Amino acid sequence: MTSEIIRACGLTKRYSDGKTVFSGIGLDVLPGQRVALIGSNGAGKSTLLKCLIGLLPLDGGEVTTLGENIGASASPRQLQRLRRRIGVVFQHHGLVARQSVLTNVVHGKLGLAGGWHAWHQSIARQEWRRDAQAALAQVGLDHKAEARADELSGGQAQRVAIARALVRKPQLLIADEPAASLDPASGRDVMALFSQLSRDSGITLICTTHDMDHALEYSDRIIALKSGSVFFDQPTGNVTRRHLQEVFHA
Amino acid sequence: MRDATLLPTRITRLSPVTFALLVGAGALLIVSFQQVAPSPAQLAQGGPRMAELVARMLPPNLEASFLQRVFWRMIETFQIAMVGTAIGVIVSLPVAWLSAKRISPAGLSRHVFKMMVSLFRTVPDLVWALIFVASVGLGAVAGTMTIVVDTIGFCGRFFAEAMEDADRKPQEALFAIGASRFQVLCGAVLPDAMPSLINTTLFALEKSVRSSVVLGLVGAGGIGQELKVAFDLFQYKNASTIILVIFGIVLVMEFVTDRLRTRVQ
């Protein structure tokens, strides 16, 4: 029985043209850690993140996430089991524009057992509707439950996406550049919210970012990718701005 | 180095193949005009005959018993259009999902459903009506079946396109948390495509009303049957009444669906 949330070694991923995205990457993530995955554009952060939760297949290496071995031979059932226990937030919130905020949060239950009626709040279980409303309260948007998703600002929409991830009560929260498409103030709010939720609920958080301030302020550990491999992997307290600048310069 | 004072030519030079194709198309059009377009002599002869026919159609027959018969035939026409469209739309939804690129759960078999929709669309409705009259007999049922097939051909294609065009980001977000294809369809694809689906349904209804009017000409029920009888028996005053009623109904239908479409936008 492994105590790590993620245990990965020798991870290799290539583009369809054979070019290597990253190779030989190894990392262990412990419960409750807030990990910032940093690197310049094209460094492979998002690809690595997707490989860690089985959204993209690996070309080599072994990865066990939440006890599920999701290497090249992972079965759809294993991936399904894993995805039921994680929450994912992308750079774009991915809300269904024409649906209400509450319905979008209830969607977070879709992958769960018996979740077939979670495609609209009006037919979802009462318990799940309550969970969704509570998740909205956690992100400070319970008063927007009945608003349409396309009426929200970018920052509010991203908060709803976080609520959609939280409603699953995940053990692991994955965020792929959640602040990249927001203005600086909204971006900071969203990152602070992630950080606070992770601290309060003990959820393990892995977040990609290319914002140095976000990495330094809202994480316990920083993993830097450069030229397809781990450039450094340090507790945030040991990382200086100069270290970070080296990651982003050739 | 290119001379800066040189202007590009006004007309791009055509390739020999494009030029040959244009000449060929022009020649075909001219020959077709000569063979099938009405000549001035034919127009001169046809004009008075048309005027004579219109004169025999006036005034329209407004006898109460005849109007009552037309009313009930029109109700039947509506029923054919409504029921045919309703069944057609319900069947079109799964067919469109199965044939839609990228979201179909059928894999390569989606082409089978796509071909079926193409077949339904390309065969004209009067031909379907003849087939159904031959198989289930004269009357409204054959008309309804024709409208069902016609609606699947129309909605199946446009529903599939609307589903393919639905925003991908919510779909990816739901797939990432383990939602099944059907859940993604219900949760993300259909809500996003809904305005387009409703618009297409309203167009289909409008189209069905127009189609169901003429289906009676081949014995598939509705007001068209009454129109055929009127022309066959040279009852032109009856025919003009029916034509006016059809015109009014189609106009009302277009107005109503236009208003509904505006509201959906």
**CA dist B63 → A25, A239, B66 (Å):** 89, 95, 5
Give the span between the Cα atoms of B215 and B221, in whole angstroms.
7
User: What's the pLDDT at B84?
Assistant: 94
| A175 and A215 inside one domain | yes
Contact A103, A165 (CB under 8 A): no
For chain B, state the CA radius of gyration. Answer: 25
Residues A94, B169: C-beta atoms closer than 8 Å: yes
Per the document, the length of chain A is: 250
- For residues A217 and A248, state if they share a domain: yes
Residues A64 and A181 in one domain: yes
Beta carbons of A88 and B178 less than 8 Å apart: no
| Domain match, A4 and A72 both | yes
Q: Is the ipTM of this complex over 0.90?
A: no
Among B172, B174, B194, whose Cβ lies nearest the Cβ of A107? B174
State the number of CA atoms in the 13 A half-sphere of A227 facing the CB: 6
Q: Which two tokens stand for residue B240?
A: 């003009």
> DSSP label at B186?
I
The predicted-structure confidence for B165-221, as pLDDT tens digits, reads as follows 999 999 998 888 888 888 899 989 999 999 899 999 999 998 998 888 888 888 878
Q: How far is CA A36 from CA A54, A200, A224, A225, B38, in A?
A: 19, 18, 8, 11, 78
Question: What does the pLDDT read at residue B3?
Answer: 67
DSSP state of B6: P
How much is the pLDDT for A250?
64
Domains of chain B as residue ranges with CATH = 66-264 (1.10.3720.10)
Cα-Cα-Cα-Cα dihedral sign, residues B29, B35, B40, B42: negative
State the alpha helices, DSSP H only, in A107-237.
Answer: 126-138, 154-166, 184-201, 212-218
- Amino acid, single-letter form, for residue B152: I
In chain A, the residue whose alpha carbon lies closest to the alpha carbon of B178 is A111
- What CATH number does the domain containing A241 carry? 3.40.50.300
Rounded CA-CA distance A106/A165 in Å is 10
Task: Check residue A1 and give its pLDDT.
Answer: 45
- Compute the nearest-CA separation of B168 from chain A (Å): 8
Each residue's pLDDT tens digit, A170-198: 889 999 988 887 888 888 888 888 888 88
- Please tell me which residue of chain A has the smallest CA distance to B189: A96
pTM, two decimals, is 0.80
Instruction: Please tell me the predicted confidence (pLDDT) of residue B228.
Output: 87
Contacts of A57 (CB under 8 A, 6+ apart): A51, A72
Residue type, A232: F
A142 and A186 assigned to the same domain: no
B169: contact with A, CB 8 A cutoff: yes
Does A176 share its domain with A244? yes
Tell me how many domains chain A contains: 2
Phi, psi of A192 (to 5 degrees): -65, -35
The whole-angstrom distance between A116's CA and the closest CA on chain B is: 6
- Please judge whether A94 and B173 are an interchain contact, meaning their C-beta atoms are less than 8 angstroms apart: yes
Instruction: Tell me which amino acid residue A179 is.
Output: A
What residues contact B89, with CB distance under 8 A and at least 6 apart?
A: B151, B155, B201, B204
Q: Is the pLDDT of residue A231 over 70?
A: yes
Selection from A90, A123, A92 nearest residue A109 by Cα: A123
Q: Identify the domain boundary among A144, A169, A194.
A: A169
* End-to-end Cα separation, chain B, in angstroms: 54
Distance of alpha carbon A96 from alpha carbon A63, whole angstroms: 32
CB neighbours of residue A134 within 10 Å: 14
- Asked if residue A226 and residue A153 are part of one domain, the reply reads no
Q: Measured between alpha carbons, how far is A52 from A174 in angstroms, rounded to an integer?
A: 10
Interface with B, mutate which of A53, A85, A96 (most B CBs under 10 A): A96
Using a CB-CB cut-off of 8 Å, the residues of chain A touching B192 are 96-98
Instruction: Indicate if A215 and A236 belong to the same structural domain.
Output: yes
Answer with the one of A137, A169, A201 that is the final residue of a domain: A169
3 state DSSP class of B172: helix
CA–chain centroid gap for A183, Å, is 20
Whether B192 contacts chain A with CB within 8 A = yes
Distance from CA of B195 to the nearest CA of A (A): 10
Are the beta carbons of A96 and B172 separated by less than 8 Å?
no
Residues A164 and A174 in one domain: no
pLDDT tens digits along A54-105: 888 888 888 999 888 887 677 888 888 888 888 899 888 899 998 999 999 9
Whether residue A236 is found in the same domain as residue A128:
no
Chain A interface, Cβ < 8 Å to B: 53, 55, 79-80, 83-84, 86-88, 90, 92-99, 107-108, 110-112, 115-116, 118-120, 161, 164-165, 168
The answer to whether B178 contacts A107, with C-beta atoms less than 8 Å apart, is no
The encoded tokens of residue B245 equal: 């009623």
Nearest Cα neighbor of B159 from B109, B215, B99 is: B99
Residue A236 reports pLDDT greater than 70: yes
Task: Report CB contact under 8 Å: A107, B187.
Answer: yes
Q: Which residues of chain B have pLDDT under 50?
A: none
Question: Which residues in chain A are closer than 8 Å to B195, comparing Cβ atoms?
Answer: 98
Q: Which residue of A has its CA nearest to B265?
A: A98
Q: For strand A60-65 and strand A6-14, is the pairing parallel, antiparallel, or unpaired?
A: antiparallel
- CA A190 – CA A178 distance, rounded (Å): 8
| Cβ atoms of B238 and B73 closer than 8 Å | no
B169/A116 touch (CB, cutoff 8 Å), yes or no? no
Q: What is the 3-state secondary structure (H, E, C) of A52-118?
A: HCCCCCCCEEEEEECCEECCCCCCHHHHHHHHCCEEEECCCCCCCCCCEHHHHHHHHHCCCCCHHHC
Could you tell me the residue range of the domain that residue A14 belongs to? 1-85+170-250
Query: Taking residues A110-114, what's their average pLDDT?
Result: 78
Whole-number Cα distances in Å, A210 to A50, A155, A183, A227, A233: 17, 18, 14, 15, 15
Length of chain B (residues)? 265
User: Do residue A161 and residue A175 come from a single domain?
Assistant: no
Residue B156 CB partners (closer than 8 Å, separation 6+): B92, B95, B96, B99, B113, B116, B117, B120, B121
Instruction: Return contacts of B115-119, CB within 8 angstroms, 24+ apart.
Output: B116/B156, B117/B152, B117/B153, B117/B156, B117/B157, B117/B160, B118/B153, B118/B157, B119/B153
Both A244 and A200 in one domain: the answer is yes
Give A43's pLDDT tier (boundaries 50, 70, 90).
Answer: confident
- Where among A143, A169, A195 does a domain terminate? A169
Contacts of B193 in chain A (CB under 8 A): none
